[in-house]
Structure 1
Amino acid sequence: MQLVGEHPVYGLEVDSETRCQHYHTERDVVAFRFDCCERYYPCVRCHEAVADHEAVVWPRERFDEPSVLCGACGAAMTAPAYLDSDSRCPNCETAFNPGCTDHLEYYLER
C-alpha cells in the first residue's frame, strides 16, 4: 500500500505517483476506486493480485463521488471530471496516459 496525498493506493509495487508493476510509464499516474471494496488501485491487474474478491467497476449512480485519483498531486475526482479531462489532471495539469481510456470498462460503468 502506498499513500498518495491522503488516499491509500493498493497493488503491486505501487510508487508515490500510483505507478505499479504493470503500468509504470511517466504518464501512468491514475488510480481507480473500485465499488466492491472502496479502495484505489492503479489497475485491475493489481486488484486481481491483492484483493480477495472479484473487481466491481464504479457504477454510474455513484459518478458524483470521487473515484479517480491523480497520482501526481493526489487530487481525487469524479468519473465525469476524469472523462472530460482530455487526459490531463484538472487540478495540476499533469498528463495522463491516454491509453487508459481503452480499458475503462474495467473501472467505470459505461
Structure 2
Amino acid sequence: MGSASSMLTQYDIELVQEHCNYLFGQQEIVCLYKRFCQLDRNAKGFISADEFLSVPEFAMNPISQRLIKMVDGLNFKDFVAFLSAFSAKATLPQKIEMLIFLTIDNLYSMFEKISLR
C-alpha cells in the first residue's frame, strides 16, 4: 500500500475490509486511502500525531489528546481499523472496546505520573 491511490489494489482493499470487520465498503476504503495519502505528507507509509492534528475535526475533539497516543504512527490498515470504531456501523461492543482501551491507557498514564513523583 504505497502513497498513491493507484497503488491500492483490489487485494489490498479486501485485506483492509477484513481488518476493519467489514465496517467500510470498498469505495469508502478508497476514499479513506486518498485522505490517508493527503495526511501522510512525506509518503512515509504512516501518519504522525502532528499530521493527525492537522485535521480540524480531530484537533477540536475533547478527547484528541488521549486519541493521539493511539494514532501516532498508524499505517493505512490500522488507520482504517481505528476509524472503524467511530463508524455508524460499529456495534456497541466495538465502541465499548475502544472506550476501554482509552480508559486503560489513561489510567496507565496517570500511574506513570504518580510513579515519577
TM range (shorter): under 0.3
Structure ranking higher in strand proportion: 1
Structure ranking higher in helix proportion: 2
Relative to the length of structure 1, the TM-score reads 0.26
Relative to the length of structure 2, the TM-score reads 0.25
